[in-house]
Amino acid sequence: MRLDKFLKVSRIIKRRTVAKEFCDASRALINGRPAKAGTEVKVGDKVSVRFGNKEIEFEIINIAETIKATDASSLYKIITEKYHNDSPAKEI
């Protein structure tokens, strides 16, 4: 599955066009490497995304073409949330 679609299906980013723009602006990494919107993701990949002053790293644990919003968080496991405004990292 494409990274932009995974971000949308998992509800990490609400709209696919926003997810595509986000990825193409080099704000996403897969396994430590820069990733574009069309980069394929698979179970076990570690993805890092940066939203302003917040960075989230998560592991993909499942991939689904469609899923209910209430179940979207079952597709990934958050590893860390970092805040870049002098706040310490929050381990999950």
Domain boundaries, the chain: 3-91
Chain centroid, CA 35 distance in Å: 11
Q: Classify the C-alpha dihedral 40-63-18-86 as positive or negative.
A: negative
Confidence at residue 46, expressed as pLDDT on a 0 to 100 scale: 97
Query: pLDDT tens, 15-52?
Result: 999 999 988 898 999 999 999 999 999 999 999 998 88
Is the predicted pLDDT of residue 88 greater than 60, yes or no? no
Burial grade of 14 (CB within 10 A; 0-12, 13-18, 19 or more): exposed
Give the class (CATH, top level) of 3-91.
Answer: alpha beta
Which pair of tokens denotes residue 33?
Answer: 């490497």
Percentage of the chain exceeding pLDDT 90: 71
Is the predicted pLDDT of residue 84 greater than 90, yes or no? no
